[in-house]
Amino acid sequence: MAASIKMKNSHIFRVFQKYLNKSRLNVCRSRSTSTALAQENQEDVEYPPIKPRYPPGSWGTMDPKECWKWHEKKEELMKYNTIWRRLLVLSDELKYHCKINIPDHTPRTLPFFQDVTKTVVVDGLPEVYQEIQFDEQCEKLAPLVIDAILTSHENESRDLARSQNFPKNSDFQNTYQQQRLINILNRILPVLSLSAEHLLKSQISEGAKVQSYWERGGFPPSRADHSMGQTGYKKDVLRCYSKSVLNVLLRTENPLPLFVNKDDPLCEAELPEWPCGPRPAGIQVKKNRIRYLAGYKTIDPYYTGAPCEFGHTGFLTTTKLDKMAVAFPGFETEFLKKMMVTGLFNWCLAQSFNQGFTHLSDVTYPFTSQMVAADGQKFAFGSYQLNTIQLFKGPGEGNDVTNICWVKNFENLYETVENDEVRGFNMDTLRQLVKFLSLKTVDRGVEMRPYLPKIQPKLGDFPLYHPLDGPEGPLPVENKTFINDKVHKEEIIIEEKFVDER
């Protein structure tokens, strides 16, 4: 007790007490000063914006983290203001994907292809063709078409006489079927162009390559094999890649009219359920670099393109369908529907990419195209309306819009050719073919490239350079090697094929 009293009276204790009181006073002053400053500047403080839970758009029940990943991927791609640069970035990576064959050779798999392309199949054709009347032209065209049939038959008979062992389903047969179609079109198009202005300005290609890539959501782990295209963003997304060759391709400057309005019930119709994954559908796994081709070169500030960028009518031969009909009798209609669904979806999707859209940014207007499957004797017709390409969203994830495909089964244009005479000529088939070709294009009255700068530089305003080079000179070698990784004698060989196809 005496020691503590003595300590309080000591000099050291007094100094410590004085220092402690001074510190308490400074703390009180600083608190009062900061409080006063905060009250004075409270109206001038700007807080950073709070990040919303979901990015802009409709996402439904998708996980917010996954939504932001998809959104950031889209924003990163939109930084490029030219089409060729976006396609180049999308094609930069080697990817595993499910290869969608056109036509497919596995029976009983139509629901899978409807699911993976989000397409509703309708028997018959849209009502838009009922308004087209070309009876007088068909009467004039019938003798010309018959003459084309006889010419093709004579040429084939002469070749068959030279080769007795001519195989029925071979590459030669595909060539003959394509030539029959070309002979018929050469008779029809000049006559129809007199009354159809869009045909006068159209462009026709042979052997047009069509390729596209998309990501389809809605395959839970019980249905999806993740080794067949896992994206790294969502575990239920399949990577899909498809390519085909249109024997004849007719393109126009403006698109076809809508077959149905976007508020039609078909645009949100229910899809058939596919309870399995892609392997039971006979899907193969491939690993290569994806490409986007719509059968033509797109118009771009740094790349010369074709003025006709919208697909009007495509023609496919039936050589492969004939083979599958022999191997799987009774499934001819299913194989035809699968070819129409995948072929038209692949073509319309590639067209949308050439207008600046991607599988991350959905289309703002539907794409419509037609397809004819024929061998010169029998004809089948298909119409397609692409309403959405944002397929990575599964059921309940903010995108219930579906695509629509109309299919009309095969009908003979004629029965047979005997003694240099065409027997059983079918005028109804000719009328339908004429209606397809004479369907007029329209100006939609909307911005066709909303995701690109509104004022595109003209081709002459910029010096032309190789698409793999930039405006400031060639890109570094490491940025070029993704086209081809072959190295020979310390020189990196870069194939020009990708650029030529674009």
DSSP code per residue over 268-299: GPPPPP--S-SGGGTPEEEEEE---EESSPPP
188: phi then psi, degrees, rounded to nearest 5: -85, -45
Q: Angle between the 332-353 and 110-117 helix axes, to the nearest 10 degrees?
A: 10
- The tokens for 10 are 């000591």
Q: In terms of pLDDT, which residue wins out, 458 or 389?
A: 389
pTM reported for the whole predicted model: 0.80
| Of the listed ranges 111-115, 282-286, 323-327, 433-437, the one predicted with least confidence | 282-286
Please name which of 334, 298, 306, 335 lies closest in space to residue 318, comparing C-alpha atoms.
335
How sure is the predictor about 117, in pLDDT bands with cuts at 50, 70 and 90? very high
Q: What percent of the chain has pLDDT over 70?
A: 74
Distances (CA, A) of 456 to 82, 299, 361, 472: 9, 10, 20, 19
Residue 362 has pLDDT above 50, yes or no: yes
CA angle 188, 194, 200 (to 5 degrees): 85
pLDDT at 466: 41
Count how many Cα atoms sit within 13 Å of the Cα of residue 185 in the half-sphere of its side chain: 25
Between 342 and 280, name the one with better pLDDT: 342
212: number of CA atoms within 13 Å, CB side?
Answer: 25
pLDDT bucket at 136, cuts 50 / 70 / 90? confident
Give me the mean pLDDT over the 449-464 stretch: 60
Among residues 125, 146, 250, 142, the alpha carbon closest in space to that of 196 is found at 250
Please give the average per-residue pLDDT across 252-256, as a whole number: 94
DSSP 198-252: HHHT-EEEEEEEEEEEEEE----TTT--GGGT--SS-TT-EEEEEEEEEEEEEEE
Q: Beta 119-123 vs 284-289: how paired, if at all?
A: unpaired
Beta strands in 86-219 (DSSP E): 94-100, 119-123, 203-216
Q: What is the pLDDT of residues 300-312, one digit of tens each?
A: 655 567 788 899 9
Mean pLDDT of 54-82: 84
pLDDT of residue 27: 46
**CA distance linking residue 127 with residue 441, whole number of Å:** 16
What type of residue sits at position 56?
P
- Where does the pLDDT of residue 233 fall: very low under 50, low under 70, confident under 90, or very high at 90 and above? very low
Ramachandran region of residue 495, left (φ > 0), alpha (ψ -120 to 50) or beta? beta
Q: Which of 135-139, 247-251, 270-274, 302-306 is predicted most confidently?
A: 247-251
